[in-house]
Chain A
Amino acid sequence: MLGYAFRRLLSLGISLWVASAVVFLVVEVAPGDPAAYMLGTGAQPDTVAALRTELGLDRPPLARYLAWTGGMLSGDFGTSYTYRTPVAGMIADRLWVSLPLALYALALSTALAFPAALYAAARRGRAGDLAVMGATQVGVAVPNFWFAMLLVLVFAINLGWFSAGGFPGWTDPAAALKALTLPALALALPQAAILARVMRSALVDILAEDFMRTARAKGLSRRQALWRHGVRNALIPVLTIVGLQFSFLLAGAIIIEQVFFLPGLGRLIFQAISQRDLLVVESVVMLLVFAVILVTFLTDLAYAWVDPRLRRRR
């Protein structure tokens, strides 16, 4: 297990290194002169030259890349050109909205999918199973931001149970969670539909295994056998999907934040794009990619821990 973890850690490091090089190349080298790009076409040459010096663009790309990655490793993401504040601080503030939103959605998605999958698998081929599978088929097809608008229409505008958008901050945790409930639900539903389908088919496979027949033969009821032996074994494929979903939820949160006017990473990155604040775009993108790579790494480790056969080298 340790050897496997070490190999995966090495590959994690290489992935992060290559990914950061790609992001740097696309943002800072490909468009030519980032300073001229950030100031727009009407800028005076001396203004561009001043910004070049301020951003350190007069240094060679390799030195800039090393300074950027070195800074990120020590928590210094540079200073935003538009806001004149440290990018790390801006990201940290926004992360307190986006990360809880993604985690809340992950919890909701799991809470919705598990009972639905268990219900459907236990009634395989019967009306209940078909109803759940039909519902998930539709759930997979629903764009989360449209579902978010429907939730606003029903629960905020018509019923008045929730506010239609905005975020009060974490000083009052109950109010903050309430403000994140509709966004989290909108993010969670399509993911729950996918998760329920995967979990149901994993359970159906396991119900056909010999050890399930043995469990029934020794006197367990269908329900007991499903809970004691089925669920635990079905968790292996489900774990991978949950890991994958976290990345999707973090990216999806960026879109959902636009529906509910939440001050999260999404708002930050779209403002940065319209203001051509490349350093902010670069840092937020790198953070998102880092999150995806890290979660994949953790999922691989968890998977190998659950199923020792996977630790062997491919």
Chain B
Amino acid sequence: MNARIVPGAALAVLVAGAALLSFAWTPGEVTGVDIPARLQPPSAAHLLGTDQFGRDILSMLMVGARTSLAVALVAVGIGMGLGVPLGLAAAARRGSWLDEVIMRGNDLVFAFPSLVIAILITAVAGPGAVNAIIAIGIFNVPVFARLSRGAALPVWQREFILAARVAGKGAPRISAEHVLPNIANLLIVQGTIQFSLGILAEAGLSYVGLGAQPPVPSWGRMLAEAQTLVAIAPHVALMPGLAIVLTVLGLNLLGDGLRDALDPRLRSTR
């Protein structure tokens, strides 16, 4: 077992578990206002303290984890769902007009950072968590398209592909049955990395008000609200940031560890 998979997976499971647990139970109030208990430092009653409305920060983080994980997960799903078939199609028809159109389309989408996509969508449709999902999802599409095309090209040179063609299978079927399983490892690793980038992107979008809107709790918006309080109650700003760092760190460690375990040739610390 790789030394990075264990701590990475532990952190990821911890965050996902906390998010799931928050559906059934949280240690304190998330929606209520308790002014006498506002801005308390961490204590036995409130493990991570309270915010400016007296809400329990640990509970807010648990519920906020749902938003972060859901947005990033769906965004990876959009990226994979659209990007992988496009990349496989481009690889199957290498050098054709289809390949050219897909790859140039990729270059074009790459020119729109997810923040810019979110700005565009928000300008015409108003802010919301769905915009964040679409913006990050669109940004993920060329990432997966480029990766799957690049990984599929050498697979198409292998003998078993030739055998499948001789057996009369068409390009879509060969892509699904023979090419995809051979590039799945790579996609899983990249999926983990895009997942962690998605969490960072969602936090940034929520922070500037382009992502999840009240009353949906989100780590980015908790930080935006904590900004003016940083001098009098630093813990209100510290906790959500630490939650983001630990989640992203865990996913990155998991991704690196998986890459090393699944494909020793790509080992990063040579």
CB contacts (< 8 Å) of B122 on chain A: these are 273
Q: Is the interface of A mostly helix, strand, loop or mixed?
A: helix
On whether the beta carbons of A143 and B116 are closer than 8 Å, the reply is: no
Known: A270-B208, A285-B116. A137 touches B123 (CB 8 A): no
Check: A293 CB closer than 8 A to any chain B CB. Answer: yes
Check: B244 CB closer than 8 A to any chain A CB. Answer: yes
With the chains together, A18 CA to B109 CA distance in Å? 10
On whether the beta carbons of A27 and B123 are closer than 8 Å, the reply is: yes
CB contacts (< 8 Å) of A205 on chain B: these are 270
On whether the beta carbons of B234 and A26 are closer than 8 Å, the reply is: no
On whether the beta carbons of B124 and A27 are closer than 8 Å, the reply is: yes
Pick from B110, B208, B234, B249: contact of A137, CB below 8 A: B249
With the chains together, A266 CA to B207 CA distance in Å? 13
CB contacts (< 8 Å) of B196 on chain A: these are 141
On whether the beta carbons of B252 and A141 are closer than 8 Å, the reply is: yes
With the chains together, A293 CA to B113 CA distance in Å? 11
On whether the beta carbons of A259 and B124 are closer than 8 Å, the reply is: no
On whether the beta carbons of A289 and B111 are closer than 8 Å, the reply is: yes
On whether the beta carbons of A273 and B248 are closer than 8 Å, the reply is: no
On whether the beta carbons of A137 and B252 are closer than 8 Å, the reply is: yes
Q: Is the interface of B mostly helix, strand, loop or mixed?
A: helix
Check: A204 CB closer than 8 A to any chain B CB. Answer: yes
On whether the beta carbons of B123 and A281 are closer than 8 Å, the reply is: yes
CB contacts (< 8 Å) of B121 on chain A: these are 26
User: Which one of B71-79, B140-148, B223-231 contacts A?
Assistant: B223-231
Which chain A residues numbered 199 to 244 have a C-beta less than 8 Å away from chain B?
201, 204-205, 208
- For B107, B123, B245, the residue with the greatest tally of chain A CB atoms inside 10 Å of its CB is B123
**A92 vs chain B, min Cβ distance (A):** 20
**A31 vs chain B, min Cβ distance (A):** 4
On whether the beta carbons of B124 and A149 are closer than 8 Å, the reply is: no
Which chain B residues numbered 215 to 252 have a C-beta less than 8 Å away from chain A?
220, 223, 226-227, 230-231, 234, 237-238, 240-241, 244-246, 248-249, 252
On whether the beta carbons of B111 and A292 are closer than 8 Å, the reply is: yes
Check: A50 CB closer than 8 A to any chain B CB. Answer: no
Pick from A141, A248, A270, A293: contact of B111, CB below 8 A: A293
On whether the beta carbons of A149 and B249 are closer than 8 Å, the reply is: no
Check: B87 CB closer than 8 A to any chain A CB. Answer: no
With the chains together, A255 CA to B207 CA distance in Å? 8
Interface contacts beyond A22-B112, A150-B238: sample of 18 additional A-B pairs, CB < 8 Å, sorted by A? A15-B107, A37-B124, A133-B269, A138-B245, A138-B249, A141-B200, A141-B244, A141-B246, A143-B241, A146-B237, A146-B241, A152-B230, A153-B230, A153-B234, A255-B115, A273-B122, A278-B123, A292-B111
